[in-house]
């Protein structure tokens, strides 16, 4: 059955792929940019969604600059918590399903094994706390909701808030000849936005409302992920590991935030592919690799 879906943040990194996947599947996907809807303004949300009358609203809008959230907590909560509440509340008013995108950063990383949907959150940062507040707001405001937690997102559109994504940053630094040091003591699952978007569409067909972890399979450190990018592209930059303490970020991040996919199994949906399989697909989509996984003219040797 085809659906009418409004995608808030539809021009962002995840939103762009969500819109493409929905349209490819025959759904009517309406992309809403920041110019079309201001989540922090309830009347703006009501006006935009009320006029469209979608059956489903997927909220991909977020303040995702983790370190900047520490310096601007009011803005983080205004978008990630209050904005989420406004979207969910309006969904309930127009009888639409609300899909809210959340993060592995709601966990503290102390478990040491993959987190399930039932594990207790304990965020370490303003970003994680604001996203968790958004989850609670969605649960309270809209009975028909999906909360989708994901991890280490990267997509072809890049994140407007971050000026690209981790993969693009690594490629740019290698091309510039900049010495690259990447933390090796934070383990997560990098997730390809196109894979996530496709699974969200599948999840919508279940009507099994609740919290779901959706990320590519497996786990690696940011250092291992960067190393995989360089190996696939034949790049040889000045590259080495560092620690979280040495890196000195403003925000604390979980040391281990790999997500288990119990919820997907319960609704009989398959997990996403391994992160190591998704990365070459992304690099091919961006034109960095050919179909044989060979680098296309990208080589840095210093």
Task: Give strand ranges (E) for the chain.
Answer: 4-8, 28-32, 56-59, 97-103, 145-150, 153-154, 180-183, 187-188, 191-192, 210-213, 220-221, 239-242
- Provide the CB-side half-sphere exposure for 55 (13 A, CA): 10
CA distance 291 to 284: 7
Active site residue 192: no
- 238 phi-psi bin (left φ>0, alpha ψ -120 to 50, beta other): beta
CA distance 190 to 201: 20
Q: Of the residues 115, 127, 154, 256, which is catalytic?
A: 127
Contact 260, 191 (CB under 8 A): no
Coil, strand or helix: which one is 275?
Answer: helix
Question: What is the rounded (10 degree) CA torsion for 14, 16, 19, 24?
Answer: -110
Q: What amino acid positions are annotated as catalytic residues? A: 127
């Amino acid at each position: 059955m085809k659906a009418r879906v409004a995608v808030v943040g539809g021009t962002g990194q995840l939103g762009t792929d969500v819109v493409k996947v929905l349209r490819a599947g025959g759904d009517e996907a309406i992309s809403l940019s920041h110019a079309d809807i201001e989540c922090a303004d309830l009347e703006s949300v009501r006006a935009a969604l009320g006029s469209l009358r979608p059956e489903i609203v997927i909220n991909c809008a977020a303040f995702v600059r983790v370190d900047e959230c520490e310096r601007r907590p009011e803005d983080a909560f205004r978008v990630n918590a209050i904005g989420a509440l406004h979207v969910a509340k309006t969904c309930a008013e127009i009888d639409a399903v609300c899909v809210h995108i959340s993060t592995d950063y709601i966990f503290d990383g102390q478990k040491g094994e993959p987190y399930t949907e039932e594990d207790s959150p304990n965020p370490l940062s303003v970003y994680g706390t604001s996203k968790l507040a958004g989850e609670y707001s969605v649960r309270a405001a809209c009975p028909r909701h999906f909360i989708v937690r994901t991890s280490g997102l990267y997509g072809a559109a890049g994140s407007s808030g971050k000026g690209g994504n981790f993969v693009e940053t690594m490629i740019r630094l290698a091309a510039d000849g900049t010495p690259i040091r990447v933390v090796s003591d934070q383990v997560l699952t990098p997730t390809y936005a196109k894979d996530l978007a496709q699974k969200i569409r599948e999840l919508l067909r279940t009507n099994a409302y609740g919290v779901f972890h959706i990320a590519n399979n497996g786990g690696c450190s940011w250092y291992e992920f960067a190393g995989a990018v360089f190996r696939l592209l034949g790049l040889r930059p000045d590259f080495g590991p560092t620690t979280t303490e040495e890196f000195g970020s403003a925000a604390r991040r979980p040391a281990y935030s790999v997500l288990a996919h119990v919820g997907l199994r319960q609704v009989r949906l398959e997990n996403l592919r391994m992160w190591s399989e998704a990365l070459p697909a992304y690099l091919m989509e961006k034109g960095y690799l050919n179909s044989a996984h060979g680098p296309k003219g990208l080589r840095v040797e210093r």
